[in-house]
A and B are shown apart, each in its own frame.
Chain A
């Protein structure tokens, strides 16, 4: 299997080339399957590699293909590294990716640009795999920017709509702001360690003393990159807008895989982060703030995809808190479970939107559980999983994050717990408003309500199963079962674990599990009362007032950015163009010309054209020359 590693990214690339170059010449029935099967191929190879790695904890598959960059003695190989960390990501990306590809075949069947869609999707998988597989920061960056591009292309997939194009552009540019941080972080790594290969860098870092300023700088700069890619404050506003893309895209890119790249990066660099306590505090702080803020905003959103988008932002915040407190494995655990249930939720949302003929406003839905039984059931599972109900996947990972936060700081734990409660509230609000109560849409929509085709429901069911059992990858200590993921990732994070704080006590674990279950039941009861029993429907946008209005308007962050960054930039640009460029710099340049012209305008008067004067001037000049000669 080792020598087939290169096929993992190449297969989706081939799929991209076939669909991309063939474009509309590829038969519609074929192109979706080419794309899906290429990802399936990668998945199978990844499983093979997983087997190899499983056998022996010391095995790392490393392959260098060719020398990519070189300057002087610096060389950088285009090489892949499959260790226990990347294999987890590989399996998630290709596995969930395959399901979403299959789902797309049904979801996009009416789309005109069918092949183009699958080409982009394959290209995305290619770059995402590159990101995970690369054996150096530069290759990670290649994938990092590549997925940003695909995200841009897919958000703006329906490019007739300029609002979508704006959202796509916003996503790309915000990501680029983060990427600049990532780039600078890489340069600093290069300056410090003389290399960008993981092996060399981490080996070098292990030699350094604890808490060095340069490590803090490196990790903070890298984290700026993660802020952009993983939608953390202050660079998160692109993600909700990114919902303009087709729903499977939101599931794959903006929930399951791409946005978790930041977490992958930090876990990969755990050796650096664990040595930089200040950066870790920042990571935890930003994650915490994001988790809370996005959770609050999520409470008052009425677009089914927007709610999910903010929940994604919030969950990413959870993961960063875990990273910040040093629980790298836990963060990755949550990445995996989140990939399952959030992909599931998005795909369910897609199924709902599909049934509703493109409607996304939950105020116009309701009572869909009869018409969409499969979707309803799977969505419920996803909701339970994200809300953290046992024994669904989210329960275990979230529990672990909270436990880790508890040992680190009570304040972090407190705020995080509030965010977790918020998650349950807005998710059940979404669930009840969508699937329970009376149907509130139009007559026409009601007649056309239908369950989605089988190619869409099968991925839902598979993901539902995964969301149910995914949590068993990491059982808490108190259940006396092996924590599979912890043990599996030990070779990657083992060194960082040396710096880890103590574990939460068993008593605390029991209390946490018990109280969270009680709280969850209370929340479900309250939400049920409000939205089903009292049939409360969120008010129309213009009727919302007070703090609710602030939440509905997402704390006016977009407006803030618009007023204080985008507009000033535009104004400054045109101001500089009109006044500095044309009015100042170019005027100075031109003034040389005008000066020459002006001076000659005066001087040419001397040349009057009177031949007599010329001659006299000539004679006088000759005489002066003689005089001058005599004096000298």
Chain B
């Protein structure tokens, strides 16, 4: 019952925010409303028992005749993902404080709707419900990109929408297939999927159904081409939602719906999935090096990072899993931070070309310091959150194959190349005319950056609480897949 409340709270926000007509107070009210789900999540976290398996389960028949139930619950993995969502949404709303948002009521409503769908995805334990939330999440973000996006938004959002939607349909097929395999009366419940005795060839097919959907959403090379365009064209908040939370849906989906249900399918195809992920790491890094537009550069770096996460998951060992979950959280925080920095730059310069910038470090040292730290988190310097995840991920991949780890590890080098290059172009050197008149950070912008910096460092120095939450759940998932965690 409690968890249901938590899931529904964003909807309350969505309705209430429509009653506010003043723009300034709307942002504040939205922020306040976004604290409600966060508070509920923290409350859950305090009651959470890491070794207690699935908790806060709410299970009611939805369409009983078709075996569809409204079943939600959280284990450590879900809790962390929900926590990520509900921490980032207030940050994302906060990032609108000093920006002029047209048609703000709809904007905030859509963000709340998005939050609702995301939390739903991360908590649902019923295949059909999962699919509903999965698709529901697409709608608000599509509207956000379409209505508040940049110049070429119509073509790009259409591509984004159709691309991800068509991927999801394969997942629907896989889900229905699983459903039909369950003993009569058929049911979509995840628990019943665990009990299926599927032949390896069946699992192979189901693998592809799920994998296409998740790989497009993540995105994994070569299914990534919707992503840079969409990230670049979407409004900053949309990009934050996409990169910070939404692409974690795919990664989460792999862990929750693929690993325990079709281990043989993964065993059969992991080489390909990992190969693609690793190629994607190198390839996206190379793309990032070629970028002149900062936002696009982050978009490509994001592909490289999630490629590594996917590779870590498919390596199917505890090290890789732990690293993947932790890196999902870190990447969420870092991506939001970097895109906020991009937003500040766009706000000040009016465009995203790095060649027009330069020398900002002279003008605004708070900006330089926070940018540096977030950047270090992104290039995975030890004692930042990025390192913890990347270390464990690479280690996990290494346990699967040393050569793959060598190539995946190139991200260590390339990440430094493109990030430092971008930093140099934007922040260092002589300040040009445009940079000399760089408007100082507002106090709201500073607070937001400080929050992100704090998250980057605290999680890097003391990651244990988060790792402890995820650990037992991940061992349980791997145990279902027949992998005895070391």
Contact = CB atoms under 8 A, between A and B. Distances in A.
In the complex, is A directly touching B at CB under 8 Å?
A: yes
Interface of A: 20, 23, 66-74, 138, 141-143, 145-146, 149, 152, 156, 159-162, 165-166, 169, 172-173, 176-177, 179-180, 183-184, 186-188, 190-191, 194, 569-570, 572-574, 576-577, 581, 585-586, 589-590, 593
Contact of A586 (B225, B430, B462): B225
Nearest to A23: B365
A98 B428 CA distance: 30
B438 to A, nearest CB: 15
A250 B464 CA distance: 37
B464 A589 contact: no
Given A74-B318, A176-B413, A66 B394 contact: no
A511 B290 CA distance: 60
A69 B289 contact: no
B226 interface: yes
A149 B429 contact: no
B283 A177 contact: no
Contacts of B430: 160
Contacts of A169: 420-421, 424
B200 interface: no
Interface stretch (B65-73, B176-184, B330-338, B397-405): B397-405
15 contacts: A69-B463, A70-B464, A74-B318, A74-B319, A138-B391, A149-B381, A152-B420, A160-B430, A176-B412, A184-B398, A184-B405, A187-B405, A576-B286, A585-B225, A589-B163
A169 B424 CA distance: 9
A69 B392 contact: yes
Interface string B319-341: 10111000000000000000000
A418 to B, nearest CB: 35
A72 B382 CA distance: 21
A581 B318 contact: no
A325 to B, nearest CB: 29
A66 B412 contact: no
B471 interface: yes
A66 B464 contact: yes
B376 interface: yes
A20 B471 CA distance: 36
A161 to B, nearest CB: 8
Contacts of B464: 66-68, 70
B406 A160 contact: no
B429 A145 contact: no
Contact of A72 (B162, B289, B485): B485
Contact of B391 (A69, A165, A173, A586): A69
Nearest to A166: B424
A20 B370 CA distance: 12
A68 B416 CA distance: 24
Contacts of B198: none
B414 to A, nearest CB: 9
B362 A69 contact: no
A97 to B, nearest CB: 20
A271 B3 CA distance: 54
A85 B381 CA distance: 26
A156 B409 contact: no
B471 A71 contact: yes
Interface in B130-152: none
Contact of B383 (A146, A160, A190): A146
Contact of B412 (A143, A156, A183, A577): A183
A349 to B, nearest CB: 26
Contact of A71 (B225, B318, B381, B428): B318
Contact of B287 (A70, A162, A183, A576): A576
Looking at A23, A173, A176, which has the most chain B CB atoms within 10 Å of its CB?
A176
Given A70-B467, A585-B225, 10 more contacts: A71-B319, A146-B381, A160-B359, A166-B424, A180-B406, A187-B398, A187-B402, A570-B289, A577-B291, A593-B159
Contacts of A68: 462-464
Contacts of A180: 406, 409-410, 412-413
Contacts of A138: 391
Contacts of A67: 464
Interface in B409-433: 409-410, 412-413, 416-417, 420-421, 424, 427-430
Contacts of B482: none
A478 to B, nearest CB: 45
Given A187-B405, A585-B222, A70 B413 contact: no
Contacts of B387: 142, 145
B286 A573 contact: yes
B471 A593 contact: no
Nearest to B392: A71
B409 A183 contact: yes
B475 interface: yes
A589 B227 CA distance: 12
Contacts of A572: 286
A165 B471 contact: no
A72 B475 contact: yes
A244 to B, nearest CB: 13
Contact of B462 (A66, A72, A173, A191): A66
Given A72-B475, A142-B383, A183-B409, A191 B398 contact: yes
Contacts of A194: 486
- Minimum-distance CB pairs A-B, first 7: A72-B318, A142-B382, A187-B398, A71-B322, A573-B290, A577-B290, A72-B485
Interface string B269-294: 00000000000000100110111000
A572 B362 CA distance: 33
B468 interface: yes
A320 to B, nearest CB: 23
Contacts of B398: 184, 187-188, 190-191
B234 interface: no
Contact of B322 (A72, A159, A186): A72
Contacts of B456: none
B287 A577 contact: yes
Contacts of B290: 570, 573-574, 576-577
B410 A146 contact: no
B429 A165 contact: yes
Contacts of B226: 589
B420 A160 contact: no
Contacts of A173: 413, 416-417, 420
B388 interface: yes
Nearest to B467: A70
B277 to A, nearest CB: 16
A71 B323 contact: yes
Nearest to A576: B286
Contacts of B429: 159-162, 165
